[in-house]
Protein backbone atom coordinates (compact mmCIF):
# COMPACT_ATOMS: atom_id res chain seq x y z
CA UNK A 1 0.00 0.00 0.00
CA UNK A 2 1.39 3.39 -1.02
CA UNK A 3 2.03 5.89 1.73
CA UNK A 4 4.53 7.34 4.13
CA UNK A 5 7.06 5.26 6.05
CA UNK A 6 8.75 6.62 9.16
CA UNK A 7 11.64 5.04 11.05
CA UNK A 8 12.29 4.34 13.79
CA UNK A 9 8.82 3.92 15.34
CA UNK A 10 10.27 4.47 18.78
CA UNK A 11 13.65 5.48 20.17
CA UNK A 12 15.20 6.33 23.52
CA UNK A 13 18.15 8.66 23.19
CA UNK A 14 20.71 10.15 25.56
CA UNK A 15 20.89 13.93 25.67
CA UNK A 16 23.62 15.30 23.44
CA UNK A 17 23.41 12.49 20.92
CA UNK A 18 22.73 13.05 17.25
CA UNK A 19 19.59 11.45 15.80
CA UNK A 20 18.04 11.27 12.35
CA UNK A 21 14.39 10.41 11.88
CA UNK A 22 13.73 8.97 8.45
CA UNK A 23 10.71 9.61 6.25
CA UNK A 24 10.04 8.11 2.83
CA UNK A 25 6.97 8.48 0.61
CA UNK A 26 6.09 6.58 -2.55
CA UNK A 27 3.27 8.79 -3.78
CA UNK A 28 5.54 11.15 -5.75
CA UNK A 29 4.20 14.06 -3.71
CA UNK A 30 5.97 17.38 -4.13
CA UNK A 31 5.52 18.72 -0.60
CA UNK A 32 6.66 17.13 2.66
CA UNK A 33 6.42 18.21 6.29
CA UNK A 34 7.66 17.41 9.76
CA UNK A 35 5.39 18.06 12.75
CA UNK A 36 5.84 17.33 16.43
CA UNK A 37 2.88 16.54 18.63
CA UNK A 38 2.91 17.19 22.36
CA UNK A 39 0.14 16.84 24.90
CA UNK A 40 -1.67 20.14 25.29
CA UNK A 41 0.22 21.78 22.43
CA UNK A 42 -1.16 19.94 19.43
CA UNK A 43 0.64 19.54 16.12
CA UNK A 44 3.40 22.08 15.49
CA UNK A 45 5.29 22.43 12.23
CA UNK A 46 9.07 22.03 12.44
CA UNK A 47 10.22 22.22 8.82
CA UNK A 48 8.69 21.73 5.42
CA UNK A 49 9.64 21.35 1.79
CA UNK A 50 7.40 22.39 -1.11
CA UNK A 51 9.58 20.62 -3.66
CA UNK A 52 12.84 18.69 -3.87
CA UNK A 53 15.81 20.95 -3.28
CA UNK A 54 13.92 23.52 -1.16
CA UNK A 55 13.11 23.68 2.54
CA UNK A 56 11.42 26.12 4.87
CA UNK A 57 11.18 26.75 8.59
CA UNK A 58 8.00 26.15 10.51
CA UNK A 59 6.85 27.27 13.92
CA UNK A 60 9.47 25.38 15.99
CA UNK A 61 12.61 24.83 13.87
CA UNK A 62 15.34 25.41 16.48
CA UNK A 63 17.49 22.34 17.15
CA UNK A 64 16.32 20.58 14.01
CA UNK A 65 17.55 20.41 10.42
CA UNK A 66 16.17 18.83 7.26
CA UNK A 67 17.26 18.10 3.73
CA UNK A 68 15.33 17.25 0.57
CA UNK A 69 17.79 15.76 -1.88
CA UNK A 70 15.06 13.93 -3.82
CA UNK A 71 11.26 13.73 -4.02
CA UNK A 72 10.82 10.67 -1.84
CA UNK A 73 12.96 11.29 1.23
CA UNK A 74 12.79 13.97 3.91
CA UNK A 75 15.00 13.16 6.93
CA UNK A 76 14.83 15.19 10.14
CA UNK A 77 18.06 15.53 12.14
CA UNK A 78 18.51 16.49 15.77
CA UNK A 79 22.16 17.56 15.95
CA UNK A 80 22.41 17.38 19.74
CA UNK A 81 19.24 16.10 21.36
CA UNK A 82 17.80 17.76 24.48
CA UNK A 83 15.02 16.49 26.79
CA UNK A 84 12.58 19.12 25.47
CA UNK A 85 12.72 17.35 22.13
CA UNK A 86 10.95 14.36 23.66
CA UNK A 87 7.83 14.12 21.51
CA UNK A 88 5.99 12.20 18.83
CA UNK A 89 7.19 13.24 15.39
CA UNK A 90 4.98 12.97 12.34
CA UNK A 91 6.07 13.19 8.74
CA UNK A 92 3.46 14.12 6.15
CA UNK A 93 3.25 14.76 2.43
CA UNK A 94 0.88 16.43 0.00
CA UNK A 95 0.66 16.46 -3.76
CA UNK A 96 1.33 20.21 -3.82
CA UNK A 97 2.22 22.80 -1.22
CA UNK A 98 -1.07 24.61 -1.69
CA UNK A 99 -3.33 21.68 -0.84
CA UNK A 100 -4.53 20.93 2.66
CA UNK A 101 -4.89 17.21 2.10
CA UNK A 102 -1.90 15.84 3.93
CA UNK A 103 -1.00 12.18 4.24
CA UNK A 104 0.65 11.36 7.55
CA UNK A 105 2.99 8.60 8.63
CA UNK A 106 2.42 6.58 11.77
CA UNK A 107 4.80 8.69 13.83
CA UNK A 108 8.13 8.28 15.58
CA UNK A 109 8.09 8.41 19.37
CA UNK A 110 11.34 9.91 20.64
CA UNK A 111 12.40 10.08 24.28
CA UNK A 112 15.50 12.09 25.19
CA UNK A 113 16.91 11.36 28.64
CA UNK B 1 -0.49 35.60 13.48
CA UNK B 2 -2.59 32.78 12.09
CA UNK B 3 -4.46 30.90 14.80
CA UNK B 4 -6.86 27.99 14.91
CA UNK B 5 -8.77 27.37 18.13
CA UNK B 6 -10.89 24.30 18.81
CA UNK B 7 -13.53 23.72 21.45
CA UNK B 8 -14.28 21.87 23.55
CA UNK B 9 -10.97 20.19 24.39
CA UNK B 10 -12.80 16.99 25.21
CA UNK B 11 -16.36 15.77 24.68
CA UNK B 12 -18.05 12.69 26.03
CA UNK B 13 -21.26 11.54 24.34
CA UNK B 14 -23.63 8.67 24.72
CA UNK B 15 -24.11 6.57 21.62
CA UNK B 16 -26.76 8.28 19.47
CA UNK B 17 -26.34 11.67 21.17
CA UNK B 18 -25.66 14.22 18.42
CA UNK B 19 -23.36 17.19 19.00
CA UNK B 20 -21.01 19.66 17.31
CA UNK B 21 -17.34 20.50 17.54
CA UNK B 22 -16.18 24.06 16.95
CA UNK B 23 -13.16 25.46 15.14
CA UNK B 24 -12.60 29.21 15.06
CA UNK B 25 -9.81 30.71 13.02
CA UNK B 26 -7.95 33.94 12.46
CA UNK B 27 -6.17 33.15 9.23
CA UNK B 28 -5.74 36.05 6.86
CA UNK B 29 -6.76 35.25 3.32
CA UNK B 30 -7.95 31.77 4.24
CA UNK B 31 -7.56 29.43 1.30
CA UNK B 32 -9.14 26.48 3.02
CA UNK B 33 -10.27 24.95 6.31
CA UNK B 34 -9.46 21.28 6.84
CA UNK B 35 -10.69 18.60 9.20
CA UNK B 36 -8.72 15.54 10.25
CA UNK B 37 -9.37 12.53 12.47
CA UNK B 38 -6.64 11.03 14.63
CA UNK B 39 -6.90 7.67 16.38
CA UNK B 40 -4.63 6.91 19.36
CA UNK B 41 -1.12 5.97 18.28
CA UNK B 42 -1.81 6.86 14.65
CA UNK B 43 -1.16 9.76 12.33
CA UNK B 44 -4.00 12.14 11.44
CA UNK B 45 -6.27 11.15 8.59
CA UNK B 46 -7.79 13.71 6.25
CA UNK B 47 -11.59 14.12 6.36
CA UNK B 48 -12.79 17.32 4.66
CA UNK B 49 -11.79 20.52 2.91
CA UNK B 50 -14.00 23.62 3.03
CA UNK B 51 -13.14 26.59 0.85
CA UNK B 52 -15.87 29.18 1.24
CA UNK B 53 -18.50 30.35 3.72
CA UNK B 54 -21.71 28.36 3.38
CA UNK B 55 -19.99 25.26 2.08
CA UNK B 56 -20.88 21.88 3.61
CA UNK B 57 -19.31 18.43 3.28
CA UNK B 58 -20.66 15.12 4.59
CA UNK B 59 -19.24 11.70 5.26
CA UNK B 60 -21.31 9.07 7.04
CA UNK B 61 -22.31 10.58 10.41
CA UNK B 62 -20.08 13.64 10.02
CA UNK B 63 -20.95 16.96 8.44
CA UNK B 64 -18.57 19.91 8.27
CA UNK B 65 -19.75 23.48 7.73
CA UNK B 66 -17.95 26.78 7.32
CA UNK B 67 -18.86 30.38 8.11
CA UNK B 68 -16.70 33.47 7.74
CA UNK B 69 -15.21 33.02 11.22
CA UNK B 70 -15.61 29.40 12.23
CA UNK B 71 -16.27 25.84 11.20
CA UNK B 72 -18.37 23.17 12.82
CA UNK B 73 -18.09 19.41 12.69
CA UNK B 74 -21.54 18.01 13.37
CA UNK B 75 -21.76 14.42 14.52
CA UNK B 76 -25.18 12.83 14.09
CA UNK B 77 -26.10 9.74 16.12
CA UNK B 78 -22.47 8.90 16.90
CA UNK B 79 -21.21 5.37 17.48
CA UNK B 80 -18.32 4.22 19.68
CA UNK B 81 -16.13 3.87 16.57
CA UNK B 82 -16.39 7.63 16.09
CA UNK B 83 -14.27 8.08 19.20
CA UNK B 84 -11.07 9.88 18.17
CA UNK B 85 -9.38 13.25 18.29
CA UNK B 86 -10.68 15.61 15.62
CA UNK B 87 -8.27 18.23 14.35
CA UNK B 88 -9.02 21.40 12.46
CA UNK B 89 -6.44 23.22 10.34
CA UNK B 90 -6.26 26.34 8.24
CA UNK B 91 -3.87 27.97 5.83
CA UNK B 92 -3.77 31.26 4.01
CA UNK B 93 -3.17 31.65 0.34
CA UNK B 94 -0.11 30.35 -1.41
CA UNK B 95 2.09 27.45 -0.45
CA UNK B 96 2.08 28.11 3.28
CA UNK B 97 1.71 24.97 5.38
CA UNK B 98 -1.29 24.23 7.56
CA UNK B 99 -1.73 25.57 11.07
CA UNK B 100 -3.46 23.01 13.26
CA UNK B 101 -5.70 23.50 16.26
CA UNK B 102 -5.09 21.46 19.40
CA UNK B 103 -7.97 19.14 18.67
CA UNK B 104 -11.14 17.91 20.35
CA UNK B 105 -10.95 14.50 21.97
CA UNK B 106 -14.29 12.77 21.41
CA UNK B 107 -15.41 9.75 23.39
CA UNK B 108 -18.64 7.98 22.45
CA UNK B 109 -19.91 5.61 25.10
CA UNK B 110 -22.13 2.63 24.23
Confidence (pLDDT) at B29: 76
3-state secondary structure B10-70: EEEEECCCCEEEEEEEECCCEEEEEEEEECCCCCCEEEEEECCCCCEEEECCEEEEECCCE
Q: Please count the other Cβ atoms lying within 10 Å of the Cβ belonging to residue A11.
A: 16
Smallest Cα distance from B71 to chain A, Å:
15
pLDDT, tens digit, 9 for 90 and up, residues A1-41 = 669 999 999 999 999 999 999 999 999 999 999 999 999 88
Average of pLDDT values for B66-83?
Answer: 95
Is A20 in contact with A76 (CB distance < 8 Å)? yes
Confidence (pLDDT) at B92: 76
Q: Do residue B99 and residue A45 have CB atoms under 8 angstroms apart?
A: yes
- Using the Cβ of B49 and the Cβ atoms of chain A, whether some distance falls under 8 Å is answered with yes
pLDDT, tens digit, 9 for 90 and up, residues B48-73 = 999 889 999 999 999 999 998 899 99
pLDDT, tens digit, 9 for 90 and up, residues A39-95 = 988 999 999 999 999 999 999 999 999 999 999 999 999 999 999 999 999 999 999
Is B96 in contact with B90 (CB distance < 8 Å)? no
Give yes or no for residue B28 having a pLDDT over 80: no
Confidence (pLDDT) at A1: 60
Rounded Cα distance, A107 and B41, in Å: 8
CB pairs under 8 A between A and B: 60
Q: Which of B34, B44, B95 sits opposite A98 (nearest CB)?
A: B95
- Using the Cβ of A1 and the Cβ atoms of chain B, whether some distance falls under 8 Å is answered with no
Is A92 in contact with A36 (CB distance < 8 Å)? no
Rounded Cα distance, B63 and B89, in Å: 16
Q: Which of residues 32-91 of A touch B (CB under 8 A)?
A: 33, 35, 40-45, 48, 50, 56, 58-59, 90
Q: What are B13's strand-pairing partners?
A: B108
Q: Do residue B45 and residue A104 have CB atoms under 8 angstroms apart?
A: yes
- Using the Cβ of B41 and the Cβ atoms of chain A, whether some distance falls under 8 Å is answered with yes
Q: Do residue A50 and residue B95 have CB atoms under 8 angstroms apart?
A: yes
Confidence (pLDDT) at B97: 84
Residues of A in contact with B40 (CB under 8 A): none
Q: Do residue A33 and residue B97 have CB atoms under 8 angstroms apart?
A: yes
Q: Do residue A31 and residue B95 have CB atoms under 8 angstroms apart?
A: yes
Rounded Cα distance, B32 and B57, in Å: 13
Rounded Cα distance, A98 and B22, in Å: 24
- Which stretches does DSSP call E strand in chain A? 4-7, 10-13, 19-25, 31-38, 42-49, 56-57, 64-66, 76-78, 87-94, 103-104, 108-112
Amino acid sequence: IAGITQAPTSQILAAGRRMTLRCTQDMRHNAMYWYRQDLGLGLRLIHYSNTAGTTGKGEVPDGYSVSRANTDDFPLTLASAVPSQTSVYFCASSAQGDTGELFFGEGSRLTVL
Amino acid sequence: EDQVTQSPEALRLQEGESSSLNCSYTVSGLRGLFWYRQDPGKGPEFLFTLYSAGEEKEKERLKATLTKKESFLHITAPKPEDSATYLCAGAHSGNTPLVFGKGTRLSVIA
